[in-house]
Amino acid sequence: MNILVTNDDGINSRGIYDLVVALREIGDVIVIAPLGEQSAVGHALTVSLPLRVTEFHKNGQFFGFAVSGTPADCVKLALRTFLEERGLARPDIVVSGINHGRNTAVNIIYSGTVSAATEATVLDVPAIAVSLTSYHPDADFGAAAEFMKRFTPHVARTGLPRGTLLNVNVPAVPAKQIRGVAYTRQGASYWEDEFEKRVDPQERPYYWLKGQYVLEDSAEDIDDIAIREQMISITPIHYDLTNYQFLKELRENWPDGREAFFE
Amino acid sequence: MNILVTNDDGINSRGIYDLVVALREIGDVIVIAPLGEQSAVGHALTVSLPLRVTEFHKNGQFFGFAVSGTPADCVKLALRTFLEERGLARPDIVVSGINHGRNTAVNIIYSGTVSAATEATVLDVPAIAVSLTSYHPDADFGAAAEFMKRFTPHVARTGLPRGTLLNVNVPAVPAKQIRGVAYTRQGASYWEDEFEKRVDPQERPYYWLKGQYVLEDSAEDIDDIAIREQMISITPIHYDLTNYQFLKELRENWPDGREAFFE
């Protein structure tokens, strides 16, 4: 099995290292990941600047390719040009992570980890995004890496619908405390955020984002509640953003003649 | 009516200027938009850097507030902190655009224009993203601006479901050639893209994204086909990315016990 691994915390982060070590036990892994941290970049693509690729070493050994771009850049560059140019195999599956922090509910739309997996599905390669639900600097990626070692081959074998990826969130507890897997929908937890206004040494004001994550707990079948119950949350997501229910309403009741909107 | 206007082409672009001139005829408009171009930034948020706000003048008059961030930053900053701090009214509606180039099909996930409108819906304000389907430097935003002058009050009056925005694409033809409005779903047109490899003056390689947009034409009810028929395409989109159909399949047929994935 050929596996392409990327992330948004950067190629030198702990999460991607533990993931790669685990996946190398079950397949041929190629790493192509951002040189620096790219959290909350969403599905950004670099179009006004060129991309650079450098070889990245870790513990004295070649680890992977570092890209001067976003997670989506890494996947697009790899699948469209770079792998073929280097004579490397097209992957059977793309795995993005392990992200340091949860990617549930509204976080999904800001997430570089998820967007890398989305880009893979745009290019018709099955993909998994995986996150650990802890921001603690010493967080243990062990259980998440162990899970991915078994779950990745299952996904590659079973397949996914075209354009759909699996968004995996692993609770930050030791492996033996994980109770199982829950297939969930994207929840409605949200950020109660604001911008703190400060003044710089030149006496000029600036704003800095800060916030509290507010857990939705009114539904049992959502991502964040599964995690609270020490289950691994797996949400199938796709990039057809159409609200079909409201589309029906629009077609039935909203004006569509040009005379409604032009003189 | 209080209207907040933003975009991703930057506060000095022609599309936002024509939109603001049109909307000032029907409401009180506040502009808060990126200082520079932010195309293809997706739903990026600036978290590792502070944001600066400066007053931006055009034709010798105050035009709006320029932000050193992304379109989503602009909307979040405005709605969470900035408007209240300045004693400015919370908007009845957010309008993002007029983007210079179409935001249909897969482009929606890369679009800063759409993500600004999405951020408004995250914060419970109705929103419209509007784009002109031409990249030509001399493209005429007139028909799109005229349409928005009439469509914006209609949306504000009628309301939208929570978490849903309208993604409007206006064909690049004179107003009198527009045949009407089509309520559409997000299509499956895609980019046949690759990275061109070049060598810089220091003999180092770099990669630059380029591509051709390939029009899906197998379905009548999609965004790009409406535009081809000289209709204004309006697609209701939301940020619940769950693939509910596949979720059912996962719950019925995929393993969920911890013994399936842990020793």
B37-93 pLDDT, tens digit each: 888 888 899 988 999 999 999 999 999 999 999 999 999 999 999 999 999 999 999
* Residue of A47, A239, A254 with shortest CB distance to B40: A47
pLDDT on residue B40: 82
pLDDT on residue B149: 98
CB proximity A26 to B under 8 Å: no
Structure tokens at A193: 């955020």
- Number of CB pairs, chain A paired with chain B, less than 8 A apart: 252
User: HSE-up of B150 (CA within 13 Å, CB side)?
Assistant: 15
Q: How far is A93 from chain B (nearest CA, A)?
A: 18
Chain A neighbors of B204, CB-CB under 8 A: 52
* Residue of A51, A242, A261 with shortest CB distance to B236: A242
Residues 86-125 of chain B whose Cβ lies under 8 A from any Cβ of chain A: 106, 108-110, 115, 118, 122
CA distance A193 to A174: 31
Chain A neighbors of B161, CB-CB under 8 A: 243, 245-246
* Residue of B147, B185, B258 with shortest CB distance to A261: B147
> From first to last of its 263 residues, what are the pLDDT tens digits of chain A?
999 999 999 999 999 999 999 999 999 999 999 999 888 888 899 988 999 999 999 999 999 999 999 999 999 999 999 999 999 999 999 999 999 999 999 999 999 999 999 999 999 999 999 999 999 999 999 999 999 999 999 999 999 999 999 999 999 999 999 999 999 999 999 999 999 999 999 999 999 999 999 998 889 999 999 999 999 999 999 999 999 999 999 999 999 999 999 98
pLDDT on residue B38: 85
Contact A209 B47 (CB under 8 A): yes
Contact B254 A193 (CB under 8 A): no
pLDDT on residue B28: 98
- Domains in chain A, please, with CATH? 2-188+217-258 (3.40.1210.10)
Contact B262 A238 (CB under 8 A): no
CA distance A7 to A130: 9
Structure tokens at B132: 């002109």
User: HSE-up of A25 (CA within 13 Å, CB side)?
Assistant: 12
The answer to whether the beta carbons of residues A29 and A91 sit under 8 Å apart is: no
A70-108 per-residue burial string, b: 16 or more CB within 10 A, e: under 16? bbbbbbbbbbbbbbeeeebeebbbbbbbbbbbbbbbbbb
pTM above 0.90, yes or no: yes
Comparing alpha-carbon positions, the chain B residue that sits nearest to A175 is B262
* Residue of B181, B247, B258 with shortest CB distance to A256: B181
pLDDT on residue A217: 82
Handedness of CA B132, B10, B125, B26 (dihedral sign): negative
* Residue of A52, A236, A255 with shortest CB distance to B246: A236
Low-confidence ranges of chain B (pLDDT < 70): none
Contact A52 B146 (CB under 8 A): no
Amino acid at B155: V
State CA A126 to chain mean position distance.
13
CB proximity A173 to B under 8 Å: no
Neighbour-count burial of B198, counting CB atoms closer than 10 A to its CB (0-12 exposed, 13-18 middle, 19+ buried): exposed
CB proximity B204 to A under 8 Å: yes
pLDDT on residue A40: 82
